[in-house]
Amino acid sequence: MKISVIGTGYVGLVTGTCLAEVGNDVLCLDVDVNKINLLKQGEIPIYEPDLEDMVRRNVSVGRLRFTLDQAECTDHGLVQFIAVGTPPDEDGSADMQYVTTAARAIGQNMQDYKLIVDKSTVPVGTVDRVRGVIYEELAKRGVEIDFSVASNPEFLKEGAAVDDFMRPDRIVIGADDDKAIELLRTLYTPFNRNHDRLVVMDARSAELTKYAANAMLATRISFMNELALLAEKLGADIEHVRRGIGSDPRIGYHFLYAGCGYGGSCFPKDVKALQRTARENGTGLKILEAVEAVNARQKEVLLDKIRARFGSDLSGKTFALWGLAFKPNTDDMREAPSRMLITGLLAQGAAVSAYDPVAMDETKRLFASEPGLKLANSSMSALEGADALIVVTEWKMFRSPDFSEIRRKLRNAVIFDGRNIYDPDSIRTEGFEYFSIGRP
Ligand SMILES: NC(=O)c1ccc[n+]([C@@H]2O[C@H](COP(=O)([O-])OP(=O)(O)OC[C@H]3O[C@@H](n4cnc5c(N)ncnc54)[C@H](O)[C@@H]3O)[C@@H](O)[C@H]2O)c1
């Protein structure tokens, strides 16, 4: 099938590449000249396991191409995926300007039938709004051309995006016309061989499904984070509690880890946007208000523990920070807990020496003008002369380090573990003062 993808970010690039991988003829559009130039040279602008090889493979056989030309993009695909960003507006609602611009451009350029698919996470009612914008543009041109609009929210996880797309748990399709459903069913057949993963519903339910999924996952995290604070006061261990409840199949083990708060490009903004939608419809979402408040509080927990140990004036102190990305296996630092922590430490007069296996360039871009932040070449060199180690992202390479080397390099044998990746007893046996989340 001929496919166009509008917006070549995390979701657009993964979608386009995986659809090319199974044999489709894919053209990806972006407005970012640097991004498209980089992609045309066979380089990818993000870190995502397995993606670069797959991009190169499909580019080399001509199944995957990149363009800045909107007319070429509209002309190419029978199916037009909209995968542009929907960042939070000032009032917390999803900023729809990029989706609207993309839809308008399709209406301005289309010459024959197109299926327009919203892959971006968009407020309920967007399929109707996109349809309206395209009608407007066709009316301005004085032409009548048949088209369909469908919702097909994306559930991939950064860090495992290719695998999630190639082996999805479910493929949600929200559409009100049979032609759209049949086209999407055909397009997704290669991802559906083992068993039928298609969940077909009306467009509004599909749009709400995406927000509900992210809100539920964020809720589980905030629930455990709040419980972790109580566990600390009670002398209980949240890790034992997690295993104790996770073993109940009605609860399960996923997304029950206490830590230093959730971040990323999706949970924070989607939790906000869903609350905004509820308010606009005259109702509230009290649970999500609490989820958000607990998360904001949790992002301060490491700094509180550091101040409790070292005092509130941290001038002259240096902290080694392991992990900058909002989670492992990505270089994405949108809303990452590390950002708030770095800003907080610098504001208290401390210096930070930081290391992340892949997010160093992104950190450089975000903190370019911060003299107090040093970027280390390796996890061990970040420790040189530091007063304590702080673990913020649970990269695998941090899980079983050489503790005697850590002790030799640090000025004080102190570890703050924002992800509970170490065992408290063995780390104390190694001679460390150890502070984690929700454990005595
Ligand atoms: N990142 C994730 O893990 C994830 C997962 C599921 C869903 N989503 C949703 O998917 C959407 C995209 O997220 P993302 O992380 O890929 O965003 P992103 O910021 O990485 O990429 C968006 C891209 O769209 C481009 N763009 C903006 N306007 C354009 C236009 N008019 N024409 C062409 N390109 C345009 C931007 O230049 C950018 O490259 C969001 O709604 C997000 O909530 C993201």
- Residue ranges per domain, the chain? 2-201, 211-297, 299-435
pTM of the model: 0.95
pLDDT of residue 90: 83
98 lines ligand 1 (CB under 6 A): yes
- State yes or no: pLDDT of 194 exceeds 90: no
Q: Calculate the average pLDDT of the chain.
A: 97
Atom of ligand 1 nearest to the CA of 98: 28
User: Is residue 319 classed as helix, strand or coil in its secondary structure?
Assistant: strand
- CA angle 256-300-348, nearest 5°? 155
Residue range 299-435, CATH number: 3.40.50.720
**Is residue 161 predicted with pLDDT exceeding 90?**
yes
- Locate the ligand 1 atom nearest the alpha carbon of residue 102 and give its number: 31
| pLDDT value at residue 137 | 98
Range 2-201 classified under CATH 3.40.50.720 = yes
Structure confidence at residue 368 (pLDDT): 87
**Ligand 1 center to 265 CA (angstroms):** 10
pLDDT at 91: 86
Which atom of ligand 1 is nearest the CA belonging to 10?
Answer: 16
**Sheet containing 171-174: order of strands:** 64-67, 25-29, 2-6, 79-82, 114-118, 147-151, 171-174, 198-201
User: Is the minimum distance from the CB of 268 to ligand 1 under 6 angstroms?
Assistant: no
pLDDT of residue 92: 84
Rounded to an integer, what distance in angstroms lies between the CA atom of residue 105 and that of residue 85? 16
With bands split at pLDDT 50, 70 and 90, how would you rate the model's confidence at 301?
A: very high
- Which residues, listed in sequence order, are joined to residue 199 by a DSSP beta bridge? 172
CA of 430 to the centre of ligand 1 (A): 45
Q: What percent of the chain has a predicted confidence (pLDDT) above 90?
A: 96
Percentage of residues in the chain having pLDDT higher than 70: 100
Sequence-ordered strand ranges (E) for 8-123: 25-29, 64-67, 79-82, 114-118
Are 2-201 and 211-297 in the same CATH fold? no
- Report how far ligand 1's centroid is from the alpha carbon of 111 (Å): 26
Q: Which fold has domain 211-297?
A: N-(1-d-carboxylethyl)-l-norvaline Dehydrogenase; domain 2 (1.10.1040)
Is residue 5 very low, low, confident or very high in pLDDT (cuts 50, 70, 90)? Answer: very high
pLDDT, tens digit, for every residue of 35-83?
999 999 889 999 999 999 999 999 999 999 999 999 999 999 999 999 9
